[in-house]
A and B are shown apart, each in its own frame.
Chain A
């Protein structure tokens, strides 16, 4: 293995591990829920997931609006399946299935 790749992997991996594990050793999450850090952390989850929704959807938008049918159908399937069964697994698997079927039908 080249020294460059190994160095990059070890530095990046060590930092990732520290970011993911060490903050849990801090007493941040043990304060009163109505406190500043409590409200910050309670809002972090919804904010983080909403951010990831935007960041993952945006690159999928086609340059031409008329080509957005598979994305629209897949998104509608996720929303519809969630409303119907309240199941993350079903909505996550059904959305891409409808996306692919729509894409194949339009091809």
Chain B
């Protein structure tokens, strides 16, 4: 059995196991959050403002977008609307995860762990549920908190370090940049089944079309929605 294999015992996985399962996400988040902290200070935000954005918004790509909009002088309501539109996809994650959890699904503490349901946390949780057939709110709490702490901590470190901190280690920086693609690919492999292949193929095609013809946000939304609709059409 591998180190991160899901628990198949009678006891549901606990908080500590969730924290441990967050390790790949932590390693992926740290360099990106660090970069965000550096970019925020370079864009004129104070370190406190940079950390506040990560603490309150907690959504990677849209935080970078918010920086770009703020520094370009865009009205704050327009910047907020753009940021909100980018994260609309998150509305699908909770119900999809609970559906996969079946009878083990619980939402008593969803007000807490649900706040940390980012792309990476959702994908990792779905992998765990798909492999073990078990869902645990404590495990979710550990997973979500580990990822959140890495994001906020990385931002604080980047804001404190300032510009050029990673420039001295270009190979390390580039390798860390491959962490999230590697994580997503691993998670896709962990949940891949014959039944999922049509949804995956349609999602890939729609994402490519949307990204190449329109924008990253359009590609991501198109991939997720058209891929999921494939499941409805499947007999």
Contact = CB atoms under 8 A, between A and B. Distances in A.
- B partners with A: yes
Interface of A: 1-2, 4-13, 15-17, 19-26, 28-29, 33, 36, 38-58, 60, 70-71, 74-75, 78-79, 82, 85-93, 95-97, 99-100, 103-104, 107
A40 B228 CA distance: 5
B214 interface: no
A86 to B, nearest CB: 6
Interface string B182-194: 1111111111110
A57 B186 CA distance: 13
Given A51-B203, A85-B2, A86-B2, A46 B188 contact: yes
A104 B49 CA distance: 36
Contacts of A97: 175
Contacts, number: 307
Contact of B76 (A7, A40, A44, A93): A7
B189 A52 contact: no
Nearest to A27: B95
User: Interface extent on B, as a size class?
Assistant: 35 or more
- Enumerate the 9 nearest inter-chain pairs by beta-carbon distance, A residue then B residue, closest first: A43-B231, A47-B227, A100-B175, A51-B223, A95-B182, A87-B2, A13-B56, A46-B196, A24-B94
